[in-house]
Amino acid sequence: MLPRAIFISPTPTDAIFESSAVFIVGNALAITFDSLRKERVHRTQLEMAQQELRASEQRYRELFENAHDAIWLHDLQENIIAANKFLVGLTGYTLEELRGIKASDLIAGGCIDSVKDIADLFLGDEATGHLSDAPLVKKDKSEACVQLSTNPVLRNGQIVGFQHIARDVTEQKRMQENLRFYLQQATKAQEEERKRISREIHDEAIQALVVHARRLDTLASNVKGLSEEDRLRLEELWREASDIMRRLRRLGQDLRPPVLERLGLLPALEWLASDVTGYSGIATKVDVLGTQRRFSEEIELVLFRIVQEALRNVWRHAEATQAEVVVEFDEGKTKITVGDNGKGFSLPKTIGDLARDGKLGLAGMQERVQLIGGTLRVQSQPGKGTSITVEVPA
């Protein structure tokens, strides 16, 4: 339009002005229409986002209400602002009653401080916390054992409250306690049976062999007219009887070492190391670190059995020439480590797989140490020996 206005129009000035006006108005309209189009697209996107948000909120609400775990939310003043049906059924409170109590009222006094500590970690922008086996207090003041996890509720990047998810493990906990009680009773019965057999070996079998050996000795010494061959035969029978007595004495001590009952764990471990060295040829020693102390009879017996089984495994499987038992008395805990320079083995992924892999001795140690609230750690590599560490609270 501009060349036409300049070279053809009889009034170029007016034509240039009209062309400029048309250009300006056209661009203004184009910008307006583009803005309207963008606004329409933005509005459509916003409506879609709102629909997705509502759908997401609806899905969360459905998950929240129909979850098989108890869930509740509270603000920073511990006022419960939301709770699901499972929490209502678990605690016996109505939803209105839950909104009228503090969140801390749901956790037993001995554990509420731990829950608050986790919340403080979040407020301090520290790592996520998790609390297991917390007692949840019901309306009737009874308790349910739950596994409790805590997460912050954020708004504009700021923590405005906390969400708790509690899984009821009361029945599972009861089954574990029943199993632990059963194992304790089975272990106790096993030890009583060991004691009974040990006494019978000492009081009956060994005494009968002593009498038998004396008769053989008397017969070989006093009976006249025996040939040299018969005399040698009687002496051989006497030596065999004496050897059987030694074996029975070691078996009886292995079943129930008297030194453990009379003097305690450390002398019993010293005796055990000496005994292992004597019958296996494996140089075995005991080192004690820290200030020595005694344990209850039950704990000392369990620790002795674990060390005994560990050294028996060294003798039978490790092909080792040296073994060491290290007892460390630290503040609040005691650690016993049994190590060897044997051939080692490849460890399973978890301790629970020991029995499946045929490591029944190690599996038995794990069961025993759990009975006294301790932990068991096994370290081994092919060609690099094995180390078994037991840690118990002192």
Could you read off the pLDDT of 29-57 as tens digits, one per residue? 778 777 777 878 777 777 777 777 666 66
**What pTM was estimated for this model as a whole?**
0.56
Instruction: Single out the residue of 297, 276, 269 nearest to residue 372, CA to CA.
Output: 297
| Residue 127: predicted pLDDT | 46
Helix pair angle (228-255, 265-280), 10° resolution = 140
Instruction: Tell me yes or no: is domain 260-394 CATH 3.40.50.2300.
Output: no
Annotated domain spans of the chain: 2-64, 67-168, 184-256, 260-394
pLDDT computed for residue 62 by the predictor:
74
User: What is residue 322's predicted lDDT score, i.e. its pLDDT?
Assistant: 95
Contact by Cβ (8 Å): 351, 387? no
pLDDT in tens, 154-207: 888 888 888 888 888 888 888 777 767 776 777 778 777 877 887 888 778 888
Predicted confidence at residue 3, as pLDDT, reads 60
Confirm whether 67-168 and 260-394 share one CATH topology.
no
Q: Contact, 157 vs 73, CB < 8 A?
A: no
Give the angle 373-121-158 at the CA atoms, nearest 5°: 150
Residue with tokens 């916003």: 46
Angle at 155 between CA 149 and CA 160, to 5 degrees: 55
Q: How far apart are CA 15 and CA 18, in angstroms?
A: 5
Give the span between the Cα atoms of 42 and 176, in whole angstroms.
Answer: 58
Residues of the chain with confidence (pLDDT) below 70 = 1-19, 21-22, 53-58, 60, 109-132, 179, 183, 350-359
Q: Residue 288 phi/psi, 5° resolution?
A: -120, 125
Identify the CATH assignment for 67-168 out of 1.10.1060.10, 3.30.450.20, 3.40.50.2300, 3.30.70.20: 3.30.450.20
